[in-house]
Amino acid sequence: MGVVCKKEILRRLAARVDDRKQLVVTPLLNRDEVFKVGSDVDSIDLRLGNSFLLPRVPPLPYTFPSPEAASQSHMRVLVPYGKYLVLPAHQTVLGATLEFIKLPMDLCGEVLTKSSVARTFIVVETAPWIHPHYRGCLTLEIANVSNTPVILYPGRSICQLVLMDLNKQRSRQGKLSGTYIAPVYPEAPEFSDPQKELKKIGVPEADFLLPGHNHQRNARANKN
Amino acid sequence: MSSVARTDHPYYRDSSYQLFNHLDSLIGKTLSYLEDLPRHPSKFPVVQRSLRQKLKLLRDSWGLLHRYIKPSLDADALHVPLPLLDALDDKLKQVPGCGSFDCVVFQLTAVNYAMLTYNEVNSVANRIARMVKGDDFPKSLSLVGIPYSQSSSFFLNCLIPHEMAHFVYQEVVGSEIKSKVDDILNAYHPATKGTPEEKLLLSQIRGLLNIWVEEIFCDLFAISLVGPAFSFAFAEMTSASLITEESAIGKFFEFGRSHPADVARFYLHLRHLKALGWWRTIERWSCSPLQLLKHCGKVFGQTFLSGEINSDARSVFNIQCFWDVCDWLLEFVKNRVPSSKKDIECFVDQYPVISSYLARAIVPSTIVTDSGMIHPSPAVLINAAYRFVLEDVQELLRNIEGRSESSVADRSWCTERLELWVLKALEDCRLLRISRETR
């Protein structure tokens, strides 16, 4: 597996949509800057989009990974370009890249916090791997791990995309699947019912413990 | 007001802030006016009565304005189709005489679109301003209502340019069109002859004709701005009412007191699309709105005047007068709005590529064609998205695991995704244009 250089990225960006090697990164604002001689040869800077999901204090004193969590756990905020979002110390927010990305089957990628951003103790990704065939604006789990609030301006470069060639891997282009198909804004996590999911691997319903419930009382009630 | 319309969250379009700031200043002036009133009642009853009347008028005027404040506050950046509105604003500003126009969107509880006429907001705000010595309502600001249900969606909101056109009619072209209506009406019903009763009847007919012609102007103007997408959205809206109301089928052919017959509108859409050059591109599409347009082109002569119109007016009025005005109007709008020729050519070249992008769930803000990398124009994107959802959406469904072409839920899911991608593409293309222009 080798890192894909800018020249190859440029070649793939110019490929047509029916070309299996086609790569999409759009919009590439300041394109000349991105590909100018002397810029990083192994990565593309990505910008922060203007839509955010702010974590909301859940109705319960914890986040329970249920199908209802998506609507209860976040509040959507749109920050127009030129305006800013304050990320308080030790707080997190879900954002997305401004650029929409589509990877071909023979490339995978990784998102890294830009070094200048990282030095303000902003961590941009906790799930940084991008699978082949992925498409969408990348959801960024942004965390301010510093002791001071940090100002985030949508439209500024925040992370870097590094692409890797899967060498001779020739997997067939399949159908699109997954929970988040081609998202353009950060999307709240979607969970299936944990009780049903565990049942599939053999955990009996009687053993499933809901948070805040007494385990022994639960078991007794189920036995009766 | 300023505490409600915060500048951090939720955000609004600049035009909304312009409205809020104006109302804010009007509130300040009203409070000062009230504070400066005499502390004790006047010993002269006439003075006292006049003051009471003023205060009542002030309270009633604020009552009228209040009906639009909450709906305007609800229309924050998350609850309006922001990229579509920006694209429409940009297009509108290219029309001569409309360079400074801005549009504030508010939410309507009814499933309808509306533009507030001058009397509903501007003149009420100005009445308050005159009493409290405030500033006049911003002259270039229009207020357009969209249904709450549509908030940030894309397809049905392609009806918004029709409402924007009402403002253009009111501020720019209304007097010119009205004078032409008078000329044509005079040819059929000479104003100098007749008894006072006949003159009154004629003025009723003139009023009706002006209302219908304004609606037709707005339709044609909207088509000039966004192309056939407007007709498709209008067809969607009309079909919805045909399904939900039994009486709507009869009304389809009926010239009412507030609107011309829908069949006449579609027929004129068809003629305008032909005149602009769009028709050659779209006539072979098989989607139902196209069939509706074609059908209306055949049956437009079956229209009739509604029973709600005065029977004397019905018996006297010659509907040919309306068609004559429309003949002139088609040419007038075509010459008034910048040509769509380039958009049509680009649409023909770019649609096959854009549809391939959409079928693969890729935002089409940068497409690769034979001519290289291209960023489609808003009109191309809007119409391509509409064609895709009407004719080719199954291509997308086939590319997604576990989704079925025959499932209504899956098609609805697909439409929602498409809306997101198209709005994103519109936003991207605007950013790209601005970034190119500032370099």
Judged by a CB distance cut-off of 8 A, whether residue A179 touches chain B is no
Q: What is the tens place of the pLDDT at every residue in B359-375?
A: 999 999 999 999 899 99
Share of chain B above pLDDT 90, in %: 60
Residue B97 has pLDDT above 80, yes or no: yes
- B367 neighbourhood in chain A, CB within 8 Å: 17
Question: Per the CB < 8 Å rule, is A182 touching B9?
Answer: no
Share of chain B above pLDDT 70, in %: 95
The confidence score (pLDDT) of residue A148 equals 95
Q: What is the tens place of the pLDDT at every residue in B236-269?
A: 888 766 665 666 677 788 898 889 999 999 999 9
Average pLDDT over residues B18-46: 90
Q: Which positions of A are catalytic?
A: 141
Cβ-based contacts under 8 A for chains A and B: 94
pLDDT band at B31 (very low <50, low <70, confident <90, very high): very high
Quote the minimal CA–CA distance from B428 to chain A in Å.
6
pLDDT band at B78 (very low <50, low <70, confident <90, very high): confident
Q: Which of B78, B399, B428 is facing A176, going by the closest CB pair?
A: B399
- A183 neighbourhood in chain B, CB within 8 Å: 420
Which of A78, A79, A152 is the best mutation test for B, with the most CBs of B within 10 A?
A78
The confidence score (pLDDT) of residue A219 equals 54
Quote the minimal CA–CA distance from A125 to chain B in Å.
23
Judged by a CB distance cut-off of 8 A, whether residue A52 touches chain B is no
- Residue count of chain A, please give it: 224
Q: What is the tens place of the pLDDT at every residue in A125-174?
A: 777 889 999 999 999 999 999 999 999 999 999 999 999 998 766 666 67
Judged by a CB distance cut-off of 8 A, whether residue B432 touches chain A is yes
Question: Per the CB < 8 Å rule, is B431 touching A24?
Answer: no
Judged by a CB distance cut-off of 8 A, whether residue B363 touches chain A is yes
Which of B12, B80, B428, B439 is the best mutation test for A, with the most CBs of A within 10 A?
B428
Question: Per the CB < 8 Å rule, is B11 touching A83?
Answer: yes
The confidence score (pLDDT) of residue B160 equals 94
Q: Which of B8, B357, B400 is facing A181, going by the closest CB pair?
A: B400
Judged by a CB distance cut-off of 8 A, whether residue B367 touches chain A is yes
Judged by a CB distance cut-off of 8 A, whether residue A29 touches chain B is yes
pLDDT band at B25 (very low <50, low <70, confident <90, very high): very high
Judged by a CB distance cut-off of 8 A, whether residue A151 touches chain B is no
- Weakest-pLDDT range from A36-40, A212-216, B70-74, B168-172: A212-216
- A26 neighbourhood in chain B, CB within 8 Å: 363, 365-366, 428
The confidence score (pLDDT) of residue B113 equals 81
Q: What is the tens place of the pLDDT at every residue in A56-81?
A: 776 677 778 877 776 777 888 999 89
Quote the minimal CA–CA distance from A112 to chain B in Å.
23
- B77 neighbourhood in chain A, CB within 8 Å: 78, 80
The confidence score (pLDDT) of residue A123 equals 92
Sequential DSSP letters for chain A:
-EEPPHHHHHHHHTS-TTSTT--EEE--TTHHHHTSTTS-SS-EEEEB-SEEEEE---SSSS---STTHHHHSEEEEE--BTB-EEE-TT-EEEEEEEEEEE--TTEEEEEEE-HHHHTTTEE--SS-EE-TT-EEEEEEEEEE-SSS-EEE-TTSEEEEEEEEE-TT-------B-SSSSS-SS--------HHHHHHHTT--GGG---TTS-HHHHHHHHH-
- B9 neighbourhood in chain A, CB within 8 Å: 77, 79
C-alpha to C-alpha distance for B144 and B115, rounded to whole angstroms: 4
ipTM score for this prediction: 0.88
